[in-house]
Amino acid sequence: METLKRYFRPEQIRELSLVFLIVLIFLFFGTQIEGYFSPRIFSRVTSDMAIIAVVAIGETLCLLTRNYDLSVGSVVGLTAFFTGKLLSFYPDTVPPLGAVLFAVTLGAALGLLNGLLVAYGRVPSLIVTFGTMAIYRSIIVAFPAGTKNVVTHELPEWIIDLGRTNLFSIGGFDIKPLVAAGLVMFIVFQFVTSYLRFGRYLYAIGSHPEAAEIGGLPTQRIVFLAFVMSGAIAGFGGFMFLTRYGDLTPAAAQGMELMVVAAAVVGGVSTNGGSGTMIGAFLGAMMINLLQQSLLRWLVISNFWVSALLGVLILLAVTVDSVIINRMRDIWARRGTEIETLGDKEKGKS
């Protein structure tokens, strides 16, 4: 029992169940959609998944502190739009690294506003980010007339090529830079949340904010940094979005916040804070995007039902987390206490 408790925690059981569900989705739609396992569909699905997974990383940082960032979709759209405009105006001047830094810096500035209001202004994150979601989207809409779209033919060749380039192939399936970037960021932030002090602070603040503050943890600064990092990561997601699609309108990435929150919550990141992993969020993003892309190609169901299905998944995930997973945690905790008690008795006898 000690071995089971040590290697198979409730969160790991959830992650294993996600892997099982992803395999089932693959197998089911493979029998329903012609050419489902083709390299072309693989490339499209993985490229879209990489963007959702990256933005879900930033959302997870906020959720761990018992906060939400509903502005990430607008941040992705705004940074993609303005980065695209910058490259359209100066196609031969701005280098690739400069474009990435511009997008990340702009995203961090947008996240900074959220962080200031939530961490230091003590305004609930739902209200703040719901407001900034509308404000950031309105900035794109209010852009001067006649220039509200980003078009591919105005962008430099390197950004078009970046979206089409293949880093390497595995059995005929191409791995693109977007996918590689998503994997690298996932590995980095899995390490940050698992082994660094900043990650431990996130969990401590989300588990019990008052106790963390009484214990001397810099709760305001950590929450502030979580929102800044969420904005910066969403800014990088905006650059990825621009690279992936090229042609943008003011509605770019609209509704992405729903998919990102769904990915994190379905992946086991608790809406009550202090619980969840980057692995779970990554698997959640994989499942949500795979399901969405599959449903869009499945002629049996209307596209209008895709968003409704995502909403149902969020409700189911929250219900499972609050009922089943919490009960499993209690069982694990009780068994751990029983094992420790028996161990103490055995020591007393000896």
Task: Say if 348 falls within a structural domain.
Answer: no
The boundaries of the domain holding residue 15 are 2-342
Instruction: Tell me whether residue 263 is in a domain.
Output: yes
Give 339's pLDDT tier (boundaries 50, 70, 90).
Answer: very low
How many domains are contained in the chain?
1
CATH code (residue 175): 1.10.3470
- Domain assignment present for 138: yes
- Domain for residue 349, yes or no? no
Contact between 52 and 263 under an 8 Å Cβ cutoff? The reply is: yes
Residue type, 215: G
Full-model pTM: 0.87
Q: Which two tokens stand for residue 145?
A: 């007339």
User: Within a domain: residue 326?
Assistant: yes
Report the distance separating Cα 9 and Cα 5, nearest Å: 6
List beta partners, residue 248: 150
Residue 344: is it exposed, middle or buried by C-beta count within 10 angstroms (0-12/13-18/19+)? exposed
pLDDT band, residue 322 (cuts 50/70/90): low
Within-domain flag for 54 = yes
Whole-angstrom Cα distance, residue 113 to residue 41?
A: 38
Q: Is 132 inside any structural domain?
A: yes
Predicted local confidence at residue 106, as pLDDT: 97
**pLDDT tens profile 193-238:** 999 999 999 999 998 888 888 888 899 999 999 999 999 999 999 9
Q: Is residue 350 part of a domain?
A: no
Q: What is the pLDDT of residues 273-318, one digit of tens each?
A: 888 889 989 998 998 888 888 888 887 777 777 777 767 776 776 6
